[in-house]
């Protein structure tokens, strides 16, 4: 049986589904159907500001079917969603033409959590976004200690305390004097992005701007 026939039969038996509404769509990689695309509520292009990053833009709000899809991606091992999520982030960055940067990078997982999950969900999104933007993603940070999940850290103060000192720069010479675009999956209080941005700035980065797949309201 040739590859084309095999693919055709698989598409009949296991049709590609929209990652949000789960309805079948045209065969191919996991994606978001046009109806769901049109229904997405998008945050303002002005973005949000943090203690150490000058701006953070986000592709979607973390709610409803988007939230459910992100949770499947992060916790149920559905890593194939990275392509569709990376496309959303790339479109958000592209639409914000004034978002200037020299280096595209991401917020890394701790090694233990990455090993248990099998992948770093934010790295995959960043690499997919970078591919669409014709940029080379560069790792700049490592998480030098595991911390309690931010979602379980309570207040903004608790989140800041939980994440303080958790990151280190891999190679300061790479980022010195550079404008950094830092990608993460979700922004809630901004504590994680602020801690990463502070670490980059202290190591010599000129400025840090951020982009996330999703933002809480």
Q: What is the pLDDT of residues 37-91, one digit of tens each?
A: 999 999 999 999 999 999 999 999 999 999 999 999 999 999 999 999 999 999 9
pLDDT at 159 over 60: no
Q: For position 142, what pLDDT does the model report?
A: 94
Q: Which residues pair with 17 in a beta bridge?
A: 24
Tokens of 198: 């502070």
Pairing mode, if any, of strands 207-215 and 179-187? parallel
Q: What are phi and psi of 15, to 5 degrees?
A: -65, 145
**Using CA atoms, how far apart are residues 38 and 24, in angstroms rounded to an integer?**
17
Rounded to whole angstroms, what are the CA distances from 162 to 88, 195, 199?
29, 10, 15
Residue range 177-198: mean pLDDT, rounded: 96
Q: For position 2, what pLDDT does the model report?
A: 61
Q: For position 109, what pLDDT does the model report?
A: 93
pLDDT at 107 over 60: yes
Predicted confidence band at 3 (pLDDT cuts at 50, 70, 90)? low
Mean pLDDT of the chain, nearest integer? 88
**Using CA atoms, how far apart are residues 40 and 23, in angstroms rounded to an integer?**
16
Query: Which contacts of 23-27 are long-range, i.e. CB under 8 A and separated by 24 or more positions?
Result: none
Q: Which residues pair with 202 in a beta bridge?
A: none
Q: Counting beta carbons within 10 angstroms of the beta carbon of residue 107, is it exposed (0 to 12), middle (13 to 18) or buried (19 or more)?
A: buried
pTM of the complete model: 0.85
Q: For position 214, what pLDDT does the model report?
A: 98
pLDDT at 206 over 60: yes
């Amino acid at each position: 049986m040739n590859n084309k026939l095999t693919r055709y039969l698989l598409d009949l038996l296991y049709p590609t589904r929209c990652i949000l509404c789960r309805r079948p769509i045209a065969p191919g990689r996991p994606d978001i159907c046009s109806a769901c695309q049109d229904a997405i509520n998008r945050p303002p292009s002005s973005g949000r500001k943090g203690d150490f990053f000058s701006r953070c833009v986000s592709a979607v709000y973390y709610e409803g079917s988007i939230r459910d899809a992100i949770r499947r991606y992060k916790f149920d091992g559905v890593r194939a969603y990275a392509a569709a999520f990376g496309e959303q982030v790339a479109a958000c960055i592209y639409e914000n033409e004034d978002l200037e940067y020299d280096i595209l990078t991401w917020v890394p997982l701790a090694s233990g959590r990455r090993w248990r999950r099998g992948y770093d969900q934010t790295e995959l999104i960043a690499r997919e976004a970078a591919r669409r933007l014709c940029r080379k993603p560069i790792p700049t940070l490592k998480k030098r200690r595991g911390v309690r999940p931010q979602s379980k850290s309570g207040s903004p103060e608790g989140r800041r305390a939980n994440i303080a000192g958790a990151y280190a720069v891999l190679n300061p010479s790479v980022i010195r004097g550079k404008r950094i675009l830092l990608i993460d999956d979700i922004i809630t209080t901004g504590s994680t992005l602020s801690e990463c941005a502070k670490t980059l700035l202290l190591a010599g980065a000129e400025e840090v701007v951020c982009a996330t797949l999703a933002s809480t309201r």
